[in-house]
């Protein structure tokens, strides 16, 4: 049987407003989501799922800018606050109430940090959104999805330790038929991928090993053929780690949004 294909248009907030429409969620794509070649695929997968569910959402498009998270953690509080105040102004102008994002760093900074500067929103990480849609029945994942695969989940620091969200990503993975294997260091004990705090953009300090290799080795040690992540930094690091260990043929790093899109055969 031939499956019909259909184009997905990603709604932009300014366009919707011009038509007098107001979406429920602002989808914050993030710089990696918009520009990183690997992570663009995650953004594309996630909007496919949003489209599939029929979620009312829109993106800022060319009005989006850096959340300021990385500047802040690298010590540039001045630049962070400039970005934050600018973003808050834009959110206000569109009367944004709910922000949806795949990036735990943006999630953390919007949820916990923007409030100090006057920006208060309900912020939802995409794993939480997917978990809620599965449990309210609006997202039905076929029972045999990804059967035969083995998935290990790498906890992003800013979803896990920073915001104590360990369950949502695992609950989404539980909807897949694949076998799940935990790494020795998981949840609040999880080892960082090595990219946070500005490390993503700079050479690592001198040491015996790169953090992403240490973590990838641990993930590979589970025997999983899929390393699931839920963060753009983790995705880059796990993908690089798999390459470094020459395991690209056998093991893949996927974001949870991509796994859901795969499961739905979108």
Partner 1 sequence: MEKQFIFLATLLVTLLAFGYTTRRYVGFFKITRGGFPVKQIGRRIGVMLEVAIGQTKIFRRPILGLLHALVFWGFLVILIGSLEMVIDGLTGQERVLSFLGAVYNIIMASGDIFALVIALAIIVFLARRIFLNVKRFSGIEMKHISHLDANVALTIILVLMLSLLGMNTYYVLATQQAGHGLEGVYPVSQLLASRIDAGAHTSELLYQVNWWIHILLVFIFANYLPYSKHFHVFMSVPNVFLSRLEPLGKLDTMESITKEVKIMMDPDQAFASPPEGEAAEEETPERFGVLDVEDVTWKNYLDSLACTECGRCTSVCPANITGKKLSPRKIVMDVRARMKEKGPGLVKKGAEYSDEKSLIRDYISEEELWACTLCNACAQECPININQPALIVGMRRYLVMEESAAPSELNSIFSNIENNGAPWQFSQEDRMLWAEDIVVNDKSQ
- φ, ψ of residue 19 to 5 degrees: the values are -85, 0
Structure tokens given for 114: 């923007």
Evaluate the CA torsion angle 262, 111, 85, 194 in order and state its sign.
Answer: negative
Contact stretch for partner 1 (CB under 8 A) within 90-98, 129-137, 160-168, 241-249: 160-168
Tell me which of 183, 192, 227, 234 binds partner 1, using CB under 8 A.
192
Is 177 a binding residue for partner 1 by CB under 8 A? The answer is no
Tell me which of 24, 92, 189, 217 binds partner 1, using CB under 8 A.
189
Which H, E and C letters describe 208-251, residue by residue? CCCHHHHHHHHHHCCCCCEEEECCHHHHHHHHHHHHHCCCCCCC
Give yes or no for a contact between 45 and 57, defined as CB atoms under 8 angstroms apart. Answer: no
Report residue 203 CA to chain centroid gap. Answer: 24
Site for partner 1 in 103-142 (CB under 8 A): 108, 112-113, 116-117
Site for partner 1 in 196-225 (CB under 8 A): 196-211, 213-215
Contact stretch for partner 1 (CB under 8 A) within 67-75, 129-137, 171-179, 244-252: 67-75
Give yes or no for a contact between 57 and 27, defined as CB atoms under 8 angstroms apart. Answer: yes
Task: Quote the least distance from Cβ 126 to partner 1, whole Å.
Answer: 15
Block residue for tokens 């796994």: 259
Is 143 a binding residue for partner 1 by CB under 8 A? The answer is no
Contact stretch for partner 1 (CB under 8 A) within 71-79, 90-98, 145-153, 223-231: 71-79
Task: Quote the least distance from Cβ 179 to partner 1, whole Å.
Answer: 26
Tell me which of 21, 24, 75, 93 binds partner 1, using CB under 8 A.
75
**Residue (217 or 250) nearer to partner 1, CB:** 217
Containing 219, the helix (H) or strand (E) segment is helix 211-220
Give yes or no for a contact between 217 and 245, defined as CB atoms under 8 angstroms apart. Answer: yes
Contact stretch for partner 1 (CB under 8 A) within 74-82, 130-138, 142-150, 221-229: 74-82
Task: Quote the least distance from Cβ 132 to partner 1, whole Å.
Answer: 20
CA distance 263 to 266: 8
Angle (nearest 5°) at CA 69 between 155 and 101: 60
- x/- letters, 76..95, toward partner 1 (CB under 8 A): xxxx-xxx-xx---------
Is 72 a binding residue for partner 1 by CB under 8 A? The answer is yes
- The SS3 call for residue 222 is coil
**Residue (210 or 225) nearer to partner 1, CB:** 210
CA distance 45 to 257: 6
């Amino acid at each position: 049987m031939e499956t019909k294909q259909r184009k997905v248009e990603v709604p932009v907030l300014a366009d919707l407003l011009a038509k007098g429409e107001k979406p429920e969620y602002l989808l914050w794509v993030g710089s990696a989501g918009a520009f990183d070649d690997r992570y663009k695929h995650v953004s594309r997968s996630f909007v496919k799922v949003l489209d599939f569910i029929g979620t009312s959402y829109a993106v800022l498009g060319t009005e989006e800018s850096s959340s300021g998270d990385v500047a802040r953690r690298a010590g540039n509080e001045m630049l962070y606050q400039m970005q934050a105040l600018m973003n808050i102004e834009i959110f206000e102008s569109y009367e944004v109430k709910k922000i949806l994002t795949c990036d735990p760093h943006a999630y953390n900074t919007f949820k916990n940090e923007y409030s100090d500067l006057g920006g208060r929103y309900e912020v939802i990480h995409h794993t939480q959104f997917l978990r809620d849609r599965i449990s309210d029945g609006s997202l039905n994942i076929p029972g045999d999805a990804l059967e035969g695969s083995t998935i290990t989940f790498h906890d992003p620091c800013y979803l896990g330790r920073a915001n104590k969200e360990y369950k949502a990503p695992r609950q989404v993975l539980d909807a897949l038929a694949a076998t799940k294997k935990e790494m020795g260091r998981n949840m609040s004990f999880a080892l960082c991928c090595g990219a946070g705090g500005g490390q993503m953009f700079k050479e690592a300090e001198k040491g015996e090993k790169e953090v992403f290799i240490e973590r990838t080795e641990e993930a590979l040690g589970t025997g999983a053929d899929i390393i699931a992540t839920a963060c753009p930094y983790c995705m880059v690091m796990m993908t690089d780690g798999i390459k470094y260990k020459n395991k690209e043929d056998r093991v893949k790093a996927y974001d949870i949004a991509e796994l859901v899109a795969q499961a739905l055969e979108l």
